[in-house]
Amino acid sequence: MKRGVLFALGLAVLLQACGQTPTAFRPLPSALGDIRGVAMGFEGLLPLQEGEGIYAAWINLERGEIVGLGRFRVNENGRPIDENGDLIERFVADQNLFKSVSVLITIEPFGAVGGSPGSAVILQGPVIEGVAQLTVPSPQGVQGAQGSYRVFTPTDGPGTNEGSGVWAASVAGGPLLQLPALNNLYAYEHYMVIDGVTLTMGRFLSPNAADFINLYSGSEPAPAFPGEDFLVNAPAGVTFPANLAGARLIVTLEPILDDTSDPSQLVILEATLPGSVVGGETIALTNRVADFPSGTAVIF
């Protein structure tokens, strides 16, 4: 009875946190020892756009078994909804969840979700007394990430289009980003948003080495640090050499096996370039980890 009351209280708190009025709750299954329901709510978890996949929920049990709870979307209030837009008040498992260890939320490709979670984990948390507080499994120390980029264009020679590129490299040739070592889930990626068009500058594993692509840079040697010149191969909607005045620069965490071109919602660092950019400016970045999504799952 004590366990059932605890689950009921947790569920009420969850629903209130999501801006919903708690409805009647009858914890009969938990009182009988057969627990199959999970209620969830989220803060800051964004709806996925077309091509980004779909969310899926999973439970890890005591002996390593994984139970799939199904796929879902989220509405603007952070509540899970089905593909018809109807609220999912309760996920129901096909087996007893009494010995739940942890909850995972992943991003899966469209279509049938398999029997085990993919590597694109967006939220996870241990189950303690029937409740899991869900957070992003980000690299340790990411809350302290900081740094800047310098505006210049090394790949077309000195004194040319100097306001059309950014690099995380100092004048002395050292790194300008301070980022923690990655875990086995994520890579870093940086982007520039120019006139509403989002352009990737490439993924990278360390602020002390170059990123993996230079799609838009010139033919001259580039620094051995993350960065990009926006000089050639301009995509539709953007003119090169680019005018970076007012552009938005972001650094994100991206699931390693996710090959989508758009940035994830896990923005670590962000800056808006000033309204006039001529080259030589240092663009300080703001840490946005406090805006990462979170959630609560209550098993009952």
Examine the domain organization and report whether 55 and 156 are in the same domain.
Answer: no
Residue 294 lies in a domain: no
Q: How far apart are CA 125 and CA 60, in angstroms?
A: 10
Q: Which domain holds residue 212?
A: 142-286
CB 147 within 8 A of CB 187: no
CB 298 within 8 A of CB 130: yes
State yes or no: pLDDT of 240 exceeds 90: yes
Examine the domain organization and report whether 203 and 98 are in the same domain.
Answer: no
pLDDT band, very low/low/confident/very high, at 9 (cuts 50, 70, 90): very low
CB 145 within 8 A of CB 269: yes
CB atoms < 10 A from the CB of 287, how many?
17
Domain boundary among the residues 83, 111, 137 is at 137
Examine the domain organization and report whether 54 and 185 are in the same domain.
Answer: no
Number of domains in the chain: 2
Residue 297 lies in a domain: no
Phi, psi of 245, rounded to the nearest 5 degrees? -60, 125
Examine the domain organization and report whether 92 and 223 are in the same domain.
Answer: no
pTM of the model as a whole: 0.85
Q: Angle at the Cα of 209 (from 203 to 214), degrees rounded to 5?
A: 50
Examine the domain organization and report whether 171 and 120 are in the same domain.
Answer: no
Domain boundary among the residues 88, 114, 137 is at 137
Pairing verdict, β 186-194 and 131-134: unpaired
Among 75-79, 148-152, 205-209, 218-222, where is mean pLDDT lowest? Answer: 75-79
**267, amino acid identity:** V
Q: Is the dihedral of CA 114, 117, 120, 121 positive or negative?
A: positive
Examine the domain organization and report whether 160 and 250 are in the same domain.
Answer: yes
Per-residue pLDDT tens over the stretch 112-123: 566 788 888 999
Examine the domain organization and report whether 281 and 153 are in the same domain.
Answer: yes
Alpha-carbon distances, residue 74 vs 40, 109, 142 (angstroms)? 11, 16, 26
Examine the domain organization and report whether 147 and 133 are in the same domain.
Answer: no
Q: Is the dihedral of CA 254, 212, 227, 223 positive or negative?
A: positive
Examine the domain organization and report whether 122 and 146 are in the same domain.
Answer: no
State yes or no: pLDDT of 44 exceeds 80: yes
186 Cβ contact partners less than 8 Å away, ≥ 6 residues apart: 138, 139, 253, 254, 255, 256, 266
Domain boundary among the residues 122, 137, 152 is at 137
Examine the domain organization and report whether 124 and 150 are in the same domain.
Answer: no
State yes or no: pLDDT of 111 exceeds 80: no
Q: What mean pLDDT is reported for the chain?
A: 88
Examine the domain organization and report whether 41 and 14 are in the same domain.
Answer: yes
What local confidence, expressed as pLDDT, does residue 139 receive? 95
Examine the domain organization and report whether 117 and 166 are in the same domain.
Answer: no
**Residue 102 is encoded by which pair of tokens?**
């942890």
**Which region holds residue 246: left if phi is over 0, alpha if psi is between -120 and 50, else beta?**
left
